[in-house]
Copies of this chain bind each other. A is one copy, B any other.
Amino acid sequence: MRAAVLFGPDDLRVVDKPVPAPAAGEVLVKVAMCGTCGTDLKLQTHPFPNQPPFGQFTPGHEWTGTVAALGETVDELAIGDRVAIEAHRGCGRCDNCVLGMYTACLNYGNVAKGHRASGMSVDGGFAEFALHHVSSLYRLPDNLTWEDAVLVTTAGTSLYGLDAIGGYVAGQSVAIVGPGPVGLMTTQACKALGADPVVLLGTRRSRLELGQRLGADCTIDVRSEDPVVAVRRITHGLGADVVIEASGAMSAPQQAVEMVKRGGKILFLGFYPAPVTFDLSAAIRDDVTLYTTRGEGAGAVRRALSLAAQGRIRGRELVTHRFGLEQIQEAFRVVREREGDPIKVVIVP
């Protein structure tokens, strides 16, 4: 099969590779589409701790496709089924996995013990075929497209975060900072769960407009209005019940502390390029809890698929660019240089 392989820092090339065979509990999937993400850029430049070596590794952790072969014991799916994925499969035996916290698996990167993070610690979806464990695959409802399926993985990040904060945001005010793919899917997820108002804050007008079309009750261009002032204004001076930080901007944590309600919650879904500085005492004085989640744990993808099938969250509108597998370098150039304001750039192998 054809597959992108990372041969060195920022040296991703499409080469021939044998189609892998599914072991017990595993499934071989013919990849239909694979999303690109900021993490893909980072790990091409600076390999992650548990990343496979140069010359072997195929990244890609937001993929979808059709079941091509089943490993032993797999009867949950059938050949021909369309599936969406979550990236992480825990070892199933460490203290954290036993408790269901598999995105925090203590055997992260230990393939022998069963852990795998598709496209991060094992081969992923920038290829014609990809393997995954059956527990990380979900049958795709008929009314969803491949684009929806790619974004369902992103929505899984949103929902895992919302699960961490309790999952019950109906009637609560939510401020979402950063209208990237995570922020936009989170906006929809919050509306799907009944949050109101959902305020989306960002710097790019086009993104904010898309956010509005996707359900945000109000959008704030933070270059025109101070974000803290705006959120306090909209929430009658109280601050938002929940602030969700999805921008990764260095100033965002301080703003989050200032725009959250007393006794409220801040959820961090983005990553920062450096240590951040903020007034933690203000959070302490106000009984504010700071939640973080990584990836799409706790069955969040299953829930995301359901919301997508119900028409409550839509992924396809976020896909702005499509490239064939052989054009993957060009695809990442577009991602890196933000050419044409890409939101989600996908590879169609």
Contacts and interface: CB of A to CB of B under 8 A. Distances in A.
Contacts of A278: 275-276
Interface string A264-288: 0000111110011111110111111
Q: Report, nearest first, the 9 A-B pairs whose CB atoms are least far apart.
A: A100-B100, A167-B168, A104-B263, A171-B306, A171-B303, A92-B92, A93-B135, A290-B290, A104-B287
A73 to B, nearest CB: 5
Contacts of A263: 96, 101, 104
B275 A93 contact: no
A284 B262 contact: no
Q: Could you say how many copies of this chain the assembly holds?
A: 4
Contacts of A290: 289-292
Interface of A: 25, 72-73, 76, 92-106, 108, 112-114, 133-135, 159, 162-164, 166-168, 170-172, 192-194, 196, 238, 253-254, 261-263, 268-272, 275-281, 283-294, 297-299, 302-307, 309-310, 312
Nearest to A278: B275
A167 B193 CA distance: 10
B275 A275 contact: no
B101 A287 contact: yes
Contact of A73 (B95, B113, B159, B272): B113
Contacts of A194: 192-193, 303, 306-307, 310, 312
